[in-house]
């Protein structure tokens, strides 16, 4: 049931911390300038694996184990400090749904007002709910790090799932985000950002930074900490921040092995097609305890909601099935994408071919709306749903015989 109890943990590193609420896990600065990597754990308070992993990474980098930061800065933060302390996904609201475009002005003015003051001044965020206060505090910390960055800024937001899962990546589909994520040998899930609004990674991408979300595995699984650690090491290595000492190379090899083993037999790219949204009070129950990414057949029963049976609209995969009491996504339905489409779409975007799609027969620009095309599939025979998806377009609706497709402008980057 949607009201099932939260699984408890027996993992010593994952026990809800009893110490004081803490934002900063650590900051390591290399002597040489370089990339600024911002890592966030526990944006959801019942996902402590990312925090445990970041503590381990920082202590390895500072512990004299021969793995030192060579270039740039790594900053590690707790996302939702109050929910982490409470051991709950959230206190008042989902903290990874409140980074909306409409929040930017408020957040920026809060930073401007406090710039130069401490990262967590007393009395800030009065009249706000718990996540609103954590959001301002986190944003202030991130902006302070960005102000002092000595190179390009990269963001990785570490999460875990309620269902058993291999590690995977979610990202706003820009070429720079794809390139950053490519170093991790785990599945890439596209299209989540089209289904949910207000994630930190989308917000940071729109701010002009490179940002990805990374899911390390199930909330309480021992391996999730190792999956998070491995990802952070590989990202640092790909940015040229660590190495080339023997212990650093060893870390790199171990990290690759851990993630390759965890993701073996998984498709490299998947696309989310639809989301089952839950409202508070909905009685939701999965048909069984699905694993994340389990294959499903067309019309296979997936869940019941308020007494009604829900079946798969197409053959594909069930993604992020909800096995906990808290959350507003029952499940997502998606499908595998052939990696060749990813390569082709990267090439098309690189040469700007995605800008001239409207010159093709059967495709024209929408007269009123930016980044929107009207497609007549009976004429546009070259049409492929996958290709449009991978160029960043989504089918908005069908109007008679034509389709309206549009794409998000990621903060003016148009997916580049």
Cis peptide leading into 244, omega within 30 of 0? yes
What is the smallest separation between the CB atom of 161 and Zn ion, expressed in angstroms?
Answer: 8
- Minimum CB–partner distance for residue 110 and Zn ion (Å): 24
CA–CA separation, 152 vs 142, rounded Å? 14
Angle at 256 between CA 250 and CA 260, to 5 degrees: 150
From residue 21 to residue 60, what is the string marking binding to Zn ion with x (rule CB under 5 A)? -----------------------x--x-------------
- Nearest approach in angstroms of CB 43 to Zn ion is 6
Here's the x/- map for Zn ion, 234-253, by CB under 5 A: it reads as --------------------
Sheet containing 294-296: order of strands: 24-29, 71-78, 32-41, 153-161, 210-218, 168-171, 188-190, 269-277, 329-336, 316-319, 294-296
**Which C-beta is closer to Zn ion: that of 47 or that of 114?**
47
Distance CA(235)–CA(53), nearest Å, equals 14
Sign, CA torsion 239/241/246/249: negative
The distance of closest approach from Cβ of residue 88 to Zn ion in the complex, given in angstroms and rounded to an integer, is: 12
Residue with the CB atom nearest Zn ion in the bound state: 159
The dihedral formed by the CA atoms of 129, 133, 135 and 141, expressed in degrees to the nearest 10: 180
Q: How far is the CB of 413 from Zn ion (least distance, A)?
A: 25
Least separation in angstroms between CB 1 and Zn ion: 21
Residue 328: both structure tokens together: 């507003």
Q: Based on the shown chain and the rule CB under 5 A, indicate whether residue 82 belongs to the binding site for Zn ion.
A: no
For 248, phi then psi, to 5°, come to: -70, -40
Q: How many residues bind to Zn ion according to rule CB under 5 A?
A: 3
Residue 29 phi/psi, 5° resolution? Answer: -115, 125
Nearer to Zn ion, 159 or 349 (CB): 159
Smallest separation (angstroms) from Zn ion to the CB of 327: 9
* Residue 44 or 252 with smaller CB distance to Zn ion: 44
**Residue 328 in contact with residue 277, Cβ under 8 Å?**
yes
Nearer to Zn ion, 198 or 243 (CB): 198
Site for Zn ion in 135-174 (CB under 5 A): 159
Residue 372 · residue 310 · CB < 8 Å:
no
CB atoms near residue 134 (< 10 Å): 29
Nearer to Zn ion, 82 or 176 (CB): 82
Quick one: 90 or 345, whose CB is closer to Zn ion? 90
Instruction: Return the number of the residue (44 or 227) whose C-beta is nearest Zn ion.
Output: 44
Q: Which is nearer to Zn ion, 95 or 333 (CB)?
A: 95
Q: Residue 96 Cβ, how far from Zn ion at the closest point, in Å?
A: 6
The residue ranges that bind Zn ion (CB under 5 A) are 44, 47, 159
């Amino acid at each position: 049931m949607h009201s099932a109890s939260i699984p408890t943990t027996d993992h010593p590193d994952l026990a809800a911390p009893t110490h004081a609420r803490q934002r900063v896990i650590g900051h390591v600065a290399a002597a040489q300038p370089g990339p600024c990597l911002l890592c966030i754990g526990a944006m959801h308070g019942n996902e402590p694996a990312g925090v445990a992993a970041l503590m381990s990474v920082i202590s390895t980098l500072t512990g004299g184990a021969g793995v030192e930061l060579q270039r740039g800065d790594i900053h590690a933060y707790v996302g939702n400090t109050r929910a982490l302390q409470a051991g709950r996904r959230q206190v008042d609201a989902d903290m990874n749904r409140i980074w909306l475009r409409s929040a930017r002005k408020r957040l920026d003015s809060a930073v401007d007002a406090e710039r130069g003051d401490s990262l967590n001044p007393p009395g800030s965020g009065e009249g706000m709910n718990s996540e609103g206060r954590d959001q301002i505090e986190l944003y202030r910390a991130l902006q302070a790090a960005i102000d002092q960055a000595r190179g390009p800024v990269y963001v990785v937001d570490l999460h875990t799932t309620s269902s058993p899962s291999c590690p995977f990546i979610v990202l706003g589909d820009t070429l720079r985000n794809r390139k950053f994520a490519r170093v991790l040998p785990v599945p890439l899930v596209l299209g989540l950002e089209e289904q949910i609004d207000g994630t930190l990674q989308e917000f940071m991408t729109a701010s002009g930074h490179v940002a990805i979300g990374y899911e390390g595995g199930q909330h309480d699984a021992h391996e999730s900490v190792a999956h998070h650690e491995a990802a952070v090491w590989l990202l640092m290595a790909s940015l040229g921040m660590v190495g080339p000492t023997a212990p650093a190379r060893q870390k790199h090899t171990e990290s690759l092995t851990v993630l390759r083993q965890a993701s073996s037999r998984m498709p490299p790219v998947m696309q989310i097609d639809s989301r089952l949204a839950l409202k508070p009070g909905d009685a939701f129950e999965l048909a069984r305890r699905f694993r994340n990414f389990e294959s499903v057949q067309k019309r296979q029963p997936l869940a019941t909601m308020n007494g009604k049976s829900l079946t798969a609209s197409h053959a594909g995969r069930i993604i992020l099935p909800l096995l906990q009491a808290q959350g507003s996504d029952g499940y997502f339905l998606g499908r595998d994408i052939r990696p060749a489409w990813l390569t082709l779409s990267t090439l098309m975007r690189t040469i700007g071919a995605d800008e001239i799609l409207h010159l093709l027969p059967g495709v024209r620009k929408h007269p009123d709306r930016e980044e929107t095309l009207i497609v007549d599939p009976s004429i546009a025979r070259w049409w492929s749903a996958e290709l449009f998806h991978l160029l960043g377009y989504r089918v908005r609706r069908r109007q008679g015989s034509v389709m309206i497709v549009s794409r998000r402008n990621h903060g003016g980057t148009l997916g580049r």
